[in-house]
Structure 1
Amino acid sequence: MAYGGSQGTSLFVNTIAASPYLPMQYGYKDWLPSQSYYAFATEAGCPPSLPYGAHPQTIFQCLVGKDTDTLINASATISESGNYGTWAFLPVTDGVFVQDLPSQQLLRKQVNGINALIGNNAAEGPSFVPQNITSEDNLVAWLQLTFPLFTNDDIAKVLLYYPSSNASTNPNAPLYATSGDSGPSALNQSSVGTGQQERADNIYAETTFVCPSYWMAEAYSDRGRTSFKYQFSVPPALHGSDVSGSAPNIGPDLALAFRQIWGNFITANNPSISSSVANGASSGNAGSSNDASNWPPFTIYAPYQINLNETGGTPFSTNITQIGHNITEFGQPGLQNDITLVNAWTWEAGRGYRCDFWRSMGAIVPE
């Protein structure tokens, strides 16, 4: 997206975006980044206590005169005081290097490079959402804090796009991963949360990680460009869990398949892998055809993605620090690959439609 996507292939041809992070991106002089700047200046000993012209130095000149430790500590103090799961200092739109909101620039397909491999995890949200949302009132209060430009009507619209019972979360409800294409969905069910908590987790996951991956896939789907989309779904599939090749819930067959997906994309511009690798040596049917051997590019008229998952395995209990309690995962022996082709648009009860909703909210959710 740099410089409005005008650099073409001068820096790179292929790009890999795993869980692309898109917090709200305000204009560089909008009220929210300005408030963070003034708070930082005050913490560093350069408070805006006088009107412009009444002080011998500008705030910036005062900051330049401070030592490194003072600036580092002030930055850390202010950043830690921001909303749960985020930071006070985030990317901004400056009109030159970053020229527009990603949701809008990606819609115009103004990007650099030619090919993109883009993925998201099944449960991106829990690490960034307070894990004490037990009622719809809690959910609404969290929405008001997380999206400060929302009116009551905007919140009502979000609840409409993320339907669920208004009942409080049942702490004894079973935790399990959804299939993605049938039965309960990520709207209110996952391997780490249910009810109103999962509702919040999924809202944050989609607006901050998942929908940006969809928008990127769309941006590279035309004008001589190609994109390939995947979801990493091995439970609990939290943010960052896809980058650990030695986790006890990731079998050697899936680790090999994932490595070859990235490797083939880097070396051959295409992430397709052989059916034998996709099915895995442990499957007993390694020779059967697998859609990952002929990975279809993502397009609006055929919005397919590869779902990277496993089946089988031996249950074990593990503590998930993000949610503060134990869950059941599955490890060796017995893990087998479950790599399939799915419709990304209808996935998880219509994720593609919800991503279109978030794009339409760009004026008050600047992403």
Structure 2
Amino acid sequence: MGQSKVLLFANLTVNMGLFWEERPLGFRWSHKTPQYPDPFGPLYDTLGDRGLTAVNQSEFATGYQQTAFNIFAETSFVWPSYWSVDAFSGNNAKESWKYEYSVTPAYHGADLTAYFSVNTATPTEGIRHAFQKMLGSFIIKDSPVISIQDAKGGASDAIVPENTDGHILWPMWNSSLPIMMDLNTTGGSLSYRNVTEHLAYWLREDPGVVNHLRLANAYLWEGDGVNDVGFGGKSVRAYLSK
């Protein structure tokens, strides 16, 4: 029998402050109590690997409201994505790649326009082209690793991790070296959208938007990264596996 492909997406909006701590006698759950910003402070996205984290800061909320968002997001979407990507890795018959969709506003489901839409204003053409090429390559060639040219989406000043063979550098998932791809954009101009009293966000619009793809340690993303493994991210976390 041939290999069967499984395409699984695990989406989230934001992450929380629960961490997995390894001890000599086993494991335990703990909650890190961070320094909480003003609940009425400025709203902005976190960087993922430095500065404030999505534990208590995002473009949707700050303080304990943000943590409440994270608790739901992490338990419902993020943790299952880690468990599943581990399950679909580890030998020649199981291969998986992990990524995060960070293009603002990146709430749950906002990434669908990048995967399946045509001629939409946001997200911009470059990131749509890159991700749809990744998805198509995974389906046809069993790997989402695409050419540097496709990953840049037609912009010479786009930033992507480059390999020496003309393709992007994107290692398969390995829990001992947990590298994921962060899919984002930069440049252009920001447009504020006030949808309802409780939902408002920024959109990044052309001209001038370019892709910004980078590799990141998935276990240190949006966490303290010292003694614990912090699961989470500020946007859409997902993986491809076969």
TM-score range, shorter chain: 0.7 to 0.9
Q: Which residue of 1 aligns with 2:162?
A: 290
Q: Which residue of 1 aligns with 2:207?
A: 333
> In the aligned structure 2, how far is the partner of 1:324 from the partner of 1:211?
26
Alignment of 1:180 onto 2:180 = no
- Given that residues 127 and 153 in structure 2 are in contact (C-alpha distance below 8 angstroms), is that contact kept between their aligned partners in structure 1? yes
- Given that residues 48 and 222 in structure 2 are in contact (C-alpha distance below 8 angstroms), is that contact kept between their aligned partners in structure 1? yes
- Match of residue 299, structure 1, among 144, 169, 174: 174
- Given that residues 192 and 327 in structure 1 are in contact (C-alpha distance below 8 angstroms), is that contact kept between their aligned partners in structure 2? yes
> In the aligned structure 1, how far is the partner of 2:98 from the partner of 2:208?
27
- Match of residue 201, structure 1, among 69, 86, 95: 69
Q: Which residue of 1 aligns with 2:100?
A: 231
Q: Which residue of 2 aligns with 1:251?
A: 124
- 1:280-308 CA-partner distances (Å, limit 9, x unpaired): 3224368x753672320111111011001
What is the CA distance between 1:269 and its match in structure 2? Answer: 0.6
Higher strand share: 2
Alignment of 1:164 onto 2:40 = no
Q: Which residue of 1 aligns with 2:109?
A: 240
- 1:77-113 CA-partner distances (Å, limit 9, x unpaired): xxxxxxxxxxxxxxxxxxxxxxxxxxxxxxxxxxxxx
Q: Which residue of 1 aligns with 2:192?
A: 317
Q: What is the identity, as a one-letter code, of the residue corresponding to 2:194?
A: N
Q: Secondary structure of 1:296's partner?
A: coil
> In the aligned structure 2, how far is the partner of 1:269 from the partner of 1:241?
25
Q: What's the TM-score, normalizing by structure 1?
A: 0.52
> In the aligned structure 2, how far is the partner of 1:281 from the partner of 1:348?
30
Identity of aligned residues (%): 33
Alignment of 1:353 onto 2:229 = yes
| Matched length | 210
Q: Secondary structure of 2:53's partner?
A: coil
> In the aligned structure 1, how far is the partner of 2:195 from the partner of 2:74?
21
Q: Which residue of 1 aligns with 2:236?
A: none
What value does the CA root-mean-square deviation take over the aligned residues?
2.7
What is the CA distance between 1:337 and its match in structure 2? Answer: 0.2
- Given that residues 130 and 150 in structure 2 are in contact (C-alpha distance below 8 angstroms), is that contact kept between their aligned partners in structure 1? yes
Q: What's the TM-score, normalizing by structure 2?
A: 0.77
In structure 2, the gaps of 5 or more residues are 16-27, 233-242
Higher helix share: 1
- Given that residues 234 and 249 in structure 1 are in contact (C-alpha distance below 8 angstroms), is that contact kept between their aligned partners in structure 2? no
Misfit runs of 4+, over 6 Å: none
- Larger RCO (CA within 8 A; separation ≥ 6): 2
What is the CA distance between 1:229 and its match in structure 2? Answer: 0.4
- Given that residues 178 and 184 in structure 1 are in contact (C-alpha distance below 8 angstroms), is that contact kept between their aligned partners in structure 2? yes
When Rg is computed on C-alpha atoms for both structures, the one with the higher figure is: 1
Q: Show the 5 A alignment for 1:67-78.
A: none
In structure 2, the CA distance between the partners of 1:207 and 1:213, relative to structure 1 (3 Å rule), is: same
- Match of residue 151, structure 2, among 255, 261, 278: 278
Q: What is the identity, as a one-letter code, of the residue corresponding to 1:296?
A: P
In structure 1, the gaps of 5 or more residues are 1-8, 20-119, 126-156, 357-367
- Given that residues 124 and 209 in structure 1 are in contact (C-alpha distance below 8 angstroms), is that contact kept between their aligned partners in structure 2? no
